[in-house]
Structure 1
Amino acid sequence: MKKLSVRRRHPLAAVVVLLLALAATGGLYAAFAPTDKAQADETAQSLDIEEGKKLYEVGCASCHGGGGQGTSDGPSLVGVGAAAVDFQVGTGRMPAQQPGAQVPRKKAIYNDAEIKALAAYVASLGAGPAIPTESQYSPQGADIARGGDLFRNNCAQCHNFTGEGGALTYGKYAPNLEGVSEKHIYEAMQTGPQNMPSFGDGIMPDQEKKDIIAYIKTVNSGETEDPGGLSLGSLGPVTEGLFAWIFGLGSLIAVAIWVAAHTAKAKKS
């Protein structure tokens, strides 16, 4: 015991303890510090933000203002998130060609790298929905029947039962969903562009969004058939009844006019 006590009081004991503590600290830092990949990702993100800011100042600031604060010509972009930018710019709606009741879809002006940079810059202005990953929007393994129920309850009022679109008020409209990518459909549900309400994760989880995407892709695939013949806009009994009234009664009226005209001629002769 005396020998152990003497060693503990040795002048070098404090130095040894300090070295052990430094070694332990260095080991823990090496184990939990960001890896080279994480640092590289951070550097790439910073470069995207810097490039996105340049693109924004040239193509977006005239309407949305410096720093995305918004102007009388365009809303604030603070907090809209990267997903909103990816949708609006990726579908060609932004930059807008001219003001109007609604901005239509058109060919995208920016390439994928530029869209990514713009999205990164706008995301840096305030927290918002991120660009979804493929696992979030891929319809692989989704429930198409459940997606149909969800679509009819939440979307068909504007987009029609098969996503063919429809007119709204004051020149606005719900666009046709045929040909829209799975990612952009997901982003539209997540961010609620223009007249559309937003269906965030708290309202509609990822799985339900995937089910809806699977339904839309199925009914617009061209592989489904209309047992009754013409789809007539896929609006159901409303258009079918209207068709019957217009063409059915129209034919009867035409026959009645023809009979009346020939009867009048017969009486004169």
Structure 2
Amino acid sequence: MKKLSARRRHPLAAVVVLLLALAATGVLYTALAPAGKAQADDTAQSLAIEEGKKLYAVGCASCHGTGGQGTSDGPSLVGVGAAAVDFQVGTGRMPAATSQGAQIPEKKVVYSQAQIDQLAAYIASLGPGPAIPTEEQYSTEGADSAEGGQLFRTNCAQCHNFTGKGGALTHGKYAPSLEGVSQKHLYEAMLTGPQNMPSFPDTVLTEQNKKDIIAYLEAVNSPDTESPGGLGLGGLGPVSEGLFGWIFGLGGLIAVAVWVAARTAKAKKS
């Protein structure tokens, strides 16, 4: 008893007990919490990639190649990232129709969101690329729609019209309407640059810039901001504006020319 009591009174006894307690806590934490969670995450990711690979083999490999390397019928998908897959498949543009025109249009979505996530996981495993944005990234909470309007008019209005109604491009291509497009898909389109659109990574348009642009589009396409006078000409794009110019502008010039000719002929007869 005296020996045990002496050991307890040793100056280093408290330090030794504390170190042993910390070591035991570390061992238990490592054994039970992180390892199990990490292993579960890895397993879930592996399963998603495996399922995505099966879906890819059935619906995508015929055009993009068995390993995503691309063919004469479809570009390489190595390095496009999960965000590109989520946008293209989530808007129905992919898988593409057998007969393709100048541009692949939006259509009914073929896959469920779970399947889209699996396809995205597989494509992401082929090479690094933009990840699917989180709700925090594309949410318009705290966004500045006025700043977004300025950014949109500078970078996007040339093709999409200043209210995002879309417009015609060259060789049968077009900039689609942005009305009704989800926040996530708007963000992904800016991030990845689908089809004719240039990409705007965070080094060009920051995450906040993208949120501001999304807020602007939601503001100008809100039912509360519809034209009170009826169908707004300026919201339909350059085609309708050109038609207006041809019908009324050119028609007015022809009418003036006819009137001048008639007046001249009448003056000569007099």
Task: Tell me the C-alpha RMSD between the 2 structures.
Answer: 3.3
Give the corresponding residue for 1:12. none
Give the corresponding residue for 2:26. 28
Q: Any stretches of 5+ residues in structure 2 without a counterpart? A: 1-6, 8-15
Q: CA deviation at 1:99?
A: 2.7
More divergent stretch after superposition (38-47 vs 214-223) = 38-47
Q: Please tell me the residue identity of whatever aligns with 1:139.
A: T
Distance in 2, matches of 1:110 and 1:223, equals 34
Give the corresponding residue for 1:92. 92
8 Å contact from structure 2 (residues 160, 167) kept in 1: yes
Q: CA deviation at 1:201?
A: 1.1
Q: Any stretches of 5+ residues in structure 1 without a counterpart? A: 1-6, 8-16, 265-269
Alignment of 1:113-128 (within 5 A): 113-128=114-129
Distance in 2, matches of 1:194 and 1:82, equals 16
Alignment of 1:83-162 (within 5 A): 83-97=83-97, 98-162=99-163
Q: 1:241 to 1:24 in 2, by over 3 A?
A: closer
Give the corresponding residue for 1:44. 44
Distance in 1, matches of 2:240 and 2:104, equals 28
Q: CA deviation at 1:230?
A: 4.0
Q: Over residues 35-93 of structure 1, what are the superposed CA-to-partner deviations in whole Å (9 max), with x where a residue is unaligned?
A: 53333222211111010000001110111001111111111111111000000000000
Q: Please tell me the residue identity of whatever aligns with 2:76.
A: S
Q: Over residues 187-244 of structure 1, what are the superposed CA-to-partner deviations in whole Å (9 max), with x where a residue is unaligned?
A: 0001111111111111111111001001111111221043666411437999779737
Distance in 2, matches of 1:179 and 1:196, equals 18
Distance in 1, matches of 2:103 and 2:206, equals 28
Q: Does 1:187 align with 2:188?
A: yes
Give the corresponding residue for 1:13. none
Q: Does 1:66 align with 2:57?
A: no
Distance in 1, matches of 2:20 and 2:43, equals 29
Q: CA deviation at 1:152?
A: 0.3
Give the corresponding residue for 1:208. 209
Give the corresponding residue for 1:56. 56
Alignment size in residue pairs: 247
> Identity over the aligned pairs, expressed in percent?
74
SS of structure 2 residue aligned to 1:68: coil
8 Å contact from structure 2 (residues 165, 237) kept in 1: no
Q: 1:60 to 1:236 in 2, by over 3 A?
A: closer
More divergent stretch after superposition (183-192 vs 132-141) = 132-141
Report the TM-score when normalising by structure 2: 0.79
Q: 1:119 to 1:247 in 2, by over 3 A?
A: same
Give the corresponding residue for 1:81. 81
Q: Please tell me the residue identity of whatever aligns with 2:227.
A: D
